Structure 1
Amino acid sequence: MTELPAPTEPAAFWEARYRDTDRVWSGRPNALLVREAADLEPGTALDLGCGEGADAVWLASRGWRVTGVDISSTALERAALHAADAGVGDRTAWERHELGRTFPKGAFDLVNAQYLQSPVGLDQQGVLRRAAEAVADHGTLLIVMHAGWPSWQTEPPFEAVFPTRESVLAELALPEGSWTVKTAETVRRTSVSPEGVEGFREDNVWRLRRL
């Protein structure tokens, strides 16, 4: 995203983002989800901000029963088609929520929150706390977020605050003795600008297990 289109009300912003292009994302699962969840025992999963469904489909293909959540109806329609094409439509369900206002019901063995960062209104702290509350006993909360702009982004397109590893753990306010931190690290990956400039981007990843 290099500029903010009007309107900037969250539902309208994200619906326009998906509706105005054939595909927004690659169709491949996020690499840090694959790294952190590949060895988890399949159960029920909640994928927050599922977009076009790549993470949910990957989880379903590994035996999970997945509920994917997004603010955009167009994104959810594409996610359902992706799941059907991949042969996992019966292992996936899709719900539209504007996180921060509504949240799916139930408890899940895995809650996956990949890049819940938005240039328009999002109660990120509140959503992540609700995500933690939705984790079942002995379940996993996986959070991945950008730690900053790409190295080639010399003029940020909008003002943004990037959470640190420490700030997210503090804001979750998890009850002492009820969780264990399995992963809390910063990962650097290759990033190429739309103009072909090579560089890198850093992401923070947290994997926590409820005791």
Structure 2
Amino acid sequence: MPEHEHTRTSPAPAPGPGVSRAEYWDERYRESDRIWSGRPNEILVREVAGLTPGSALDLGCGEGADAVWLARGGWTVTGSDVSEVALGRAAEHAAEAGVAERVVLRRHDFAESFPEGEFDLVSACFLHSYGEFPREAVLRSAAAAVAPGGTLLVVGHAGWPSWVEEPPHPGVEFPTAEEVLARLELAEGAWEVLLVEEHVKVQDQPDGRPGTRPDNVVKVRRLR
């Protein structure tokens, strides 16, 4: 259930009554052959490029762009998503890229279950979902999955795009980078804060004109 760089720029409709997260995201992926760009997230590339490859967990891996980029860089990747449709496309992408042996894909609704194990890198890029979704609790689980010496990278939206005058989903919250960090509830002395940043990204509007969207990044390293 990611929000990677995508091929559509208008906000997606919220799930209808009685529709599960898995059903919602499966149906959204079926709308087209690809709903994301197929490129890795720029912030992931920037922040991970200097790390020593090891084991990585890609939360909300979608169609697999980030997982494939990590695997090409020498990481052994576990990609997880709520959508079986997305995971099928991620498997195809990994196979086409020649890195299938380095990518393991698992279906999880993070509100109900979480991938087992410890990882040298846990990446949660644009892990947003409409409806009831315990994002803060999921990100705390992500932090718990980081091995000593490992890194947690959280990238998220900090607001609606500039061209959205009236939010289509009023209940959606976009926390600041400082709020994301605070809500991780990291144990004092056990983590090093590497980056807490907000920035504005240029993104095309539905009519093709340039627009903007605020995003934020939190990057921390587990010391023990």
AA matched with 1:40: L
- Partner of residue 201, structure 2: 189
Report how far residue 6 of structure 1 moved.
3.1
AA matched with 1:39: G
1:69 aligns with 2:80: yes
For the 8 Å contact 1:145–1:205, the answer to whether it is kept is yes
Give me the TM-score of the superposition, normalised by structure 1: 0.97
AA matched with 1:154: E
For 1:9 and 1:34, how far apart are their aligned partners in 2?
32
For the 8 Å contact 2:125–2:155, the answer to whether it is kept is yes
AA matched with 1:178: A
1:56 is paired with a residue whose SS is: helix
CA offsets per residue over residues 122-142 of structure 1, 9 Å max, x none? 110110000000000000000
CA offsets per residue over residues 63-90 of structure 1, 9 Å max, x none? 0000000000000000000000001000
- Partner of residue 4, structure 1: 14
2:16 is paired with a residue whose SS is: coil
For the 8 Å contact 1:68–1:92, the answer to whether it is kept is yes
Q: How does 1:8-27 map to 2 (within 5 A)?
A: 8-27=19-38
Instruction: For structure 1, list consecutive stretches of 5 or more residues without a partner in the other structure.
Output: none
Report the identity percentage.
55
- Partner of residue 30, structure 1: 41
1:77 is paired with a residue whose SS is: helix
Count of residue pairs the alignment pairs up: 211
Q: How does 1:87-98 map to 2 (within 5 A)?
A: 87-98=98-109
Give the 4+ runs in structure 1 shifted more than 2 A. Answer: 1-9
Report how far residue 30 of structure 1 moved.
0.3
- Partner of residue 205, structure 1: 217
For 1:121 and 1:88, how far apart are their aligned partners in 2?
35
Instruction: For structure 2, list consecutive stretches of 5 or more residues without a partner in the other structure.
Output: 1-10
Give me the TM-score of the superposition, normalised by structure 2: 0.91
